[in-house]
């Protein structure tokens, strides 16, 4: 199957590969997987206030899964948490021209963003509780 130029570009030059310090209270980590193919994707965000200032990913999977997560890290950077939650997998499909059989890769990326945001929100809430206690 032929990959689109945009997929190949992200696959050959993935943006923001790597890890952030999972233990930091301002870092959110989301790990998601696709049981159909066994792909796994880790996406991390770092926030300042409400804004995402950095994002990293590590994906073990096909070219489309790598491209989807690479694109997701580019898109979330600079957005507020609420804005990042607006990102839909369909936008990723469109941007990367993913074929129907690869749509689940984009779903994975959307799920990873949501999981990372949920994680950092949980951390923030437990910090607030500690402060108020």
Partner 1 sequence: MSPLFCAACSTLFAPPEDADPFALLGLEPAIAVDAGALRKELLRLQRAMHPDFFAGAADETRALAERNTAELNAAYEVLEDEVRRADWLVKRQGGPDENEERQMPQAFLMEVMEWNETLEEARGSEPSSSAREAALELGRELDTERESLVRSVAELLDPLPNTGSDVLVEARRRLNAVRYVDRALRQIEEIRLECRSSSSTS
Nearer to partner 1, 79 or 104 (CB): 104
**Minimum CB distance to partner 1 smaller for 85 or for 103:** 103
Q: Binding to partner 1 (CB under 8 A): which residues in 58-117?
A: 58, 60
Sign, CA torsion 106/63/44/54: negative
Q: How far is the CB of 104 from partner 1 (least distance, A)?
A: 8
Q: Footprint of partner 1 on residues 28-67 (CB under 8 A)? A: 31-40, 42, 58, 60
Cβ-based nearer residue to partner 1, 32 or 117: 32
- Catalytic residue annotation: 37, 105
Spatial CA neighbour of 72 closest among 41, 36, 47? 41
Which of these ranges, 27-35, 48-56, 71-79, 89-97, lies near partner 1 under the rule CB under 8 A? 27-35
CB 16 within 8 Å of CB 74: yes
């Amino acid at each position: 199957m032929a990959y689109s130029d945009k997929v190949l570009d992200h696959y050959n030059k993935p943006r923001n590969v790597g890890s952030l310090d999972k233990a930091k209270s301002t870092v959110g980590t989301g790990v998601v997987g696709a049981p159909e193919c066994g792909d796994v994707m880790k996406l991390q965000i770092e926030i300042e206030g409400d804004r995402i200032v950095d994002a990293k990913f590590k994906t073990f999977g096909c070219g489309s899964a790598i491209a989807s997560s690479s694109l997701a890290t580019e898109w979330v950077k600079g957005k507020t948490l609420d804005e990042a939650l607006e990102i839909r997998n369909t936008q990723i499909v469109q941007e990367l021209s993913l074929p129907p059989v690869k749509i689940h890769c984009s779903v994975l990326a959307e799920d990873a963003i949501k999981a990372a945001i949920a994680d950092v929100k949980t951390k923030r809430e437990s910090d607030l509780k500690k402060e108020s206690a």
